[in-house]
Structure 1
Amino acid sequence: MSAAASALVPAAVTAAGTGSGDAANVGEPWLNIAIFGGFVAITLVIVLRASRNNRSAADYYAAGRSFTGGQNGTAIAGDYLSAASFLGIVGAIAINGYDGFLYSVGFLVAWLVALLLVAELLRNTGKFTMADVLSFRLAQRPVRMAAATGTLAVCFFYLLAQMAGAGGLVSLLLGINDRLGQSLVISIVGALMIVYVLIGGMKGTTWVQIIKACLLIAGAGVMTVWVLALNGFNLSELFARAAEAGGAELLAPGNQYGVSEASRLDFVSLALALVLGTAGLPHVLMRFYTVPTAKEARRSVVWAIWLIGVFYLFTLVLGYGAAWLIPREQILSSPGGVNSAAPILAFELGGPVLLGIIAAVAFATILAVVAGLTITAAASFAHDVYANVIRRGRVDPDGEVRVARITVVVIGVLAIVGGIGVQGQNVAFLVALAFAVAASANLPTILYSLYWRRFTTRGALWSMYGGLGSALVLIVFSPVVSGAETSMFPDADVAWFPLSNPGIVSIPLGFLLGILGSLSSRRAEDPALAAEMQVRSLTGHGAEKASDH
């Protein structure tokens, strides 16, 4: 670091001992716990107040369809801006520079697909879950079962990322550097998540997401202005200092995805997963049902695009700010690895108080996202599998909600166990796997159902199971799981698929199987239902009864 740059570094940097890599001394644990406790207490009060109006399945699953487009758009941003967006992307930029920012670009561009192709039509044709749309004109039971399977798989991968982020973040702030302590932290986060969803349902979860989105964007904005002020509000100066501290390769493409032919293919695969995955994410799709009309659903997406876009510009500054102020070795050796760059940067800028506030916001971020994921997975199992497959529609709403609450507990336990297993993985990378599964298993059937009258039940089943199965198989036998130092199981080696993201194979395969399955079907689906679905998707006529068939 140059002398001029050193003079601008806040005093907290010296106190932290930036070169030491001693993560246990970052911040004041008692202060962090106090701020955490305050955030948790406030959000629990909000959830309790919101839960008073949960009188029906529509209240529990879709918040009574009572939110405006602006409110829902803010909640979507709160749902979408997860630990991957804040912790993972800032860390990825700090370590890999330009290539790390590609995550932000992909996550944002993906919303154009959701806005132009999915949001309004989905709101018109569904009721509570993605399966309501897919099963409208296809065979109810097999399609709902397949859709629920895909939903649970995507939610599980997403939950793994949030749990990994929570474990690394809280362990960093409390000075916990052993695996047992981090496992305990993940267990506590999972327990809080279960409480939120059991009590508040979608309405409580939505309000937590709205508050969390405002706090996260405001907190990231304060840190961004602070970093820019240290560089005279000159972005080029920041880039130059980051390159001087972390290496000139931070400013050039190819630091992560250009070192080999396989890495270039991995980038294409990642790009496909990120751009196409959002429109197939069940917890994002479910948010379109919390507004009263399709117009508000479209307005929600526009609001979300603006908020998310501004935030991702912040991550560019924060990532290069972390590369400038924090030695690479300190980031990599801290609890949570690359995910610790953002909270350590907060400490470097404003000391223990700013660290505590930013970390508490990030913690609230994780809680809000995991709550949204959990209620989506629970709704899918209770509404699609239990109510419509097992009970064939002969179940009262109270019984359905009761099963959903039991499912919340089961999913929470599974998320805790899985989160313990993926400690240390980059959360942005883990989320990219969830996007790949969503784009492979869910998006083809959604688009074909909405736009292709010839689409059949066989096509839907082939597409969903084929896309999901191929994505999961390729992930299991990829360097993500084994065969590399950064794998989940570094001591094992069963990897034969060379890429870390399966999207380049599994996404086209999901689309292709949908076509082949439909064209090979001997019997076409009811053309009257196909025509009715088209009218309903475009006009919204009868939208509230879209899942009654």
Structure 2
Amino acid sequence: MTVQIAAPVSGNPTLNVGIFVVFVAITLYIVYRASSRNTTAADYYAAGGGFTGVQNGIAMSGDFLSAASFLGISGAIAVHGYDGFLYSIGWVVAWLLSLMLMAEMLRNTGRFTMGDVMSFRMNQRPVRAAAAVSTLVISLFYMLAQTAGAGGLVALLLNVNSKVGQSIVIVIVGLIMIFYVLVGGMKGTTWVQIIKAALLLLSVTMVTVFMLGKFGFSFSALLERATENSPLGQGLLGPGGSYGKSNLTKIDFVSLALALVLGTSSLPHVLMRFYTVPNAKEARRSVVWATWCMFVFYLSTLVIGYGATALVGSSAILHAPGGENSAAPLLAFTIGGTVLLGIVAAVAFATILAVIAGLTITASASFAHDVYANVMRRGQADTRSEVRVARMTAIVIGVLAIFGGILANGQNIAFLVSLAFAIAASANLPTILYSLYWRRFNTTGTLWSIYGGLGSCLVLIVFSPTLSGTSKSIFPSVDFHWFPLDNPGLVSIPFSFLCGLVGTLVGGESGDSGKQAEMEVRALTGIGVGT
């Protein structure tokens, strides 16, 4: 029989807020101390390349392990079982692609942003503008999911059930994040992410151990109880709980998996972290450390998700404020009471803050470095004005993310993030791979690939069930969808590769052979890095 928990379960709101305030106070102090060294664009964008591979790997995991991972995946496993865990598998496997194909070459051929690589041997101005547009759109989609997660979490922890109250909290979280970026730059943000990653891994490991201890450290006993507390029964342990109901949902799963695996290696805020280390060797070490951190984390979410079903029950989770996203906090309250709930709450808030800060600095750096410095000022901008523009852009991006999070409040954040992955894989991955590995690739192909992938993905999202036509849509009361899949990756990613191929053949220009040779040598050897 399902264990029912009266909703909302907030524990002690004062304790929850107190732990979070302590974290914010400590990290704000660290950010303030780090800000004294932000004297150049390299310091502000890439922390002067001064982090080791170990530090950057932990920070990278902190940057990547978002509220979607902590709250969304745990909830998806609790409600949908096996199908929810497929998010975790896709994201772990994706880092192998990044390690083998991307990390070293990206570190060797760029300086601050993804646009450095895409435009290296192309016509600088249009390509940098296209790279900046792609970065801004992806970052906004990702931040929308994180700020939406903040609203759902606060609803559960502080008993704030009104949309107005949740919106106020989203605004507060967004303002703190903007302060991190404005003051600390990449160095301050990186230290926030390192601290947050350590706290997150410690918290999920602790909850996992407590959870297994309640069942005599028998995972089989935990799974058996979980099946009893779920309407899916034994189906909770096998595929089909969410994506196996029809041929269409199976195709939708393939589309989701493609977006998760290919999107990770093309997320701008992940790619930018390769420039915070001094060389390609440390970039590879970063990916290895990040992969291990995420491997431990996602194994823990498997226990936490099924544990939430076992002790809380999927029905109670769905009816709690925050819906699926409330599974991990509800479990923490069940096994550890108010104190553990407060710790988990603080870590979840810290997760949201750190990830949004990383996304904001990536978006602002792309606009300032690619658009302002290299498109508008044709490479003649001084460092001081470039950093000033980056900070102004951070404010604008932060405000847009706040409004987007208010609009998307209540959606499953793991699913919302998967849309950002689809956009990244569609707009960025084909362009980056073509740039690094295809000598004939030219400016026309680059522009067709970026805009073709970005445009097709956005159009399909707008006219998919994500926005309208179902009870789970962002706008459930209207129906203007005609594309049947929730995630457009299966169509938009191959379309982007095709656009890059056709654009290159149609464009006809051969490009600068000297630049092509220089890029190949630099990518493989690291000679000339940073110039």
TM normalised by structure 2 equals 0.99
Question: What is the rounded CA distance, in whole Å, between the counterparts of 1:21 and 1:380 in structure 2?
Answer: 46
Question: Are 1:38 and 2:19 matched, yes or no?
Answer: no
1:317-371 superposed Cα distances (whole Å, 9 cap, x missing partner): 0000001111222211222211111111110110010000111011101100000
Question: Are 1:355 and 2:335 matched, yes or no?
Answer: no
8 Å CA contact 1:53, 1:59 repeated in 2: yes
8 Å CA contact 2:5, 2:312 repeated in 1: no
1:153-210 superposed Cα distances (whole Å, 9 cap, x missing partner): 1101100110011111122111001111111111111111111110100000000000
Aligned pairs for 1:244-323 within 5 A: 244-246=228-230, 247-323=233-309
* CA apart distance, 1:399: 0.2
Question: Are 1:219 and 2:208 matched, yes or no?
Answer: no
* CA apart distance, 1:36: 1.2
Secondary structure of the corresponding residue to residue 283 of structure 2? helix
Question: What is the rounded CA distance, in whole Å, between the counterparts of 1:342 and 1:280 in structure 2?
Answer: 29
Question: Are 1:437 and 2:437 matched, yes or no?
Answer: no
* CA apart distance, 1:502: 0.3
1:427-466 superposed Cα distances (whole Å, 9 cap, x missing partner): 1001100000000000000000000001010000000000
Match of 1:329 among 315, 322, 342: 315
Question: Are 1:174 and 2:197 matched, yes or no?
Answer: no
Question: What is the rounded CA distance, in whole Å, between the counterparts of 2:79 and 2:93 in structure 1?
Answer: 23
Question: What is the rounded CA distance, in whole Å, between the counterparts of 2:10 and 2:174 in structure 1?
Answer: 24
The code of the aligned residue for 1:414 comes to L
Question: What is the rounded CA distance, in whole Å, between the counterparts of 2:208 and 2:29 in structure 1?
Answer: 31
The code of the aligned residue for 2:457 comes to A
Question: What is the rounded CA distance, in whole Å, between the counterparts of 1:448 and 1:517 in structure 2?
Answer: 12
8 Å CA contact 1:21, 1:333 repeated in 2: no
Question: What is the rounded CA distance, in whole Å, between the counterparts of 1:463 and 1:323 in structure 2?
Answer: 43
The code of the aligned residue for 1:524 comes to S
Residue 209 of structure 1 corresponds to: 193
The code of the aligned residue for 1:382 comes to A
Secondary structure of the corresponding residue to residue 489 of structure 1? coil
Aligned pairs for 1:9-158 within 5 A: 19-23=4-8, 25-158=9-142
Residue 507 of structure 2 corresponds to: 521
* CA apart distance, 1:20: 4.8
Q: How many residues align?
A: 529
Between the two proteins, what is the percent identity of the paired residues?
66
* CA apart distance, 1:469: 0.3
8 Å CA contact 1:21, 1:331 repeated in 2: no
Question: What is the rounded CA distance, in whole Å, between the counterparts of 1:64 and 1:470 in structure 2?
Answer: 37
The answer for unaligned runs of 5 or more in structure 2 is none
- The CA RMSD measured in Å over matched residues stands at 0.9
Residue 363 of structure 2 corresponds to: 377
Residue 15 of structure 1 corresponds to: none
* CA apart distance, 1:115: 0.4
8 Å CA contact 1:54, 1:201 repeated in 2: yes
1:399-422 superposed Cα distances (whole Å, 9 cap, x missing partner): 000000000110011000000000
Question: What is the rounded CA distance, in whole Å, between the counterparts of 2:220 and 2:144 in structure 1?
Answer: 36
The code of the aligned residue for 1:66 comes to G
Question: Are 1:490 and 2:465 matched, yes or no?
Answer: no
Question: What is the rounded CA distance, in whole Å, between the counterparts of 1:21 and 1:100 in structure 2?
Answer: 25
Match of 2:443 among 457, 469, 484: 457
Question: What is the rounded CA distance, in whole Å, between the counterparts of 1:185 and 1:329 in structure 2?
Answer: 26
The code of the aligned residue for 2:147 comes to M
Residue 163 of structure 1 corresponds to: 147
TM normalised by structure 1 equals 0.95
8 Å CA contact 2:7, 2:321 repeated in 1: no
Question: What is the rounded CA distance, in whole Å, between the counterparts of 2:119 and 2:442 in structure 1?
Answer: 10
1:451-506 superposed Cα distances (whole Å, 9 cap, x missing partner): 00010100000000000000000000001000010110001100000000000000
The code of the aligned residue for 1:238 comes to L
Secondary structure of the corresponding residue to residue 384 of structure 1? helix
Match of 1:505 among 491, 498, 506: 491
Question: What is the rounded CA distance, in whole Å, between the counterparts of 1:212 and 1:501 in structure 2?
Answer: 30
Instruction: Report which stretch shifted further, 198-207 or 168-177.
Output: 168-177
Question: What is the rounded CA distance, in whole Å, between the counterparts of 2:490 and 2:287 in structure 1?
Answer: 27
8 Å CA contact 2:226, 2:313 repeated in 1: no
Question: What is the rounded CA distance, in whole Å, between the counterparts of 2:184 and 2:118 in structure 1?
Answer: 28
* CA apart distance, 1:26: 2.5
Question: What is the rounded CA distance, in whole Å, between the counterparts of 2:6 and 2:378 in structure 1?
Answer: 58
Instruction: Report which stretch shifted further, 46-55 or 281-290.
Output: 46-55
Question: What is the rounded CA distance, in whole Å, between the counterparts of 1:139 and 1:155 in structure 2?
Answer: 24
Question: What is the rounded CA distance, in whole Å, between the counterparts of 1:327 and 1:77 in structure 2?
Answer: 30
8 Å CA contact 1:21, 1:329 repeated in 2: no
Match of 1:473 among 434, 454, 459: 459
The answer for unaligned runs of 5 or more in structure 1 is 3-17
Question: What is the rounded CA distance, in whole Å, between the counterparts of 1:352 and 1:149 in structure 2?
Answer: 44
* CA apart distance, 1:21: 4.0
Question: What is the rounded CA distance, in whole Å, between the counterparts of 1:485 and 1:207 in structure 2?
Answer: 41
Aligned pairs for 1:413-428 within 5 A: 413-428=399-414
Question: What is the rounded CA distance, in whole Å, between the counterparts of 2:291 and 2:21 in structure 1?
Answer: 31
8 Å CA contact 1:212, 1:368 repeated in 2: yes
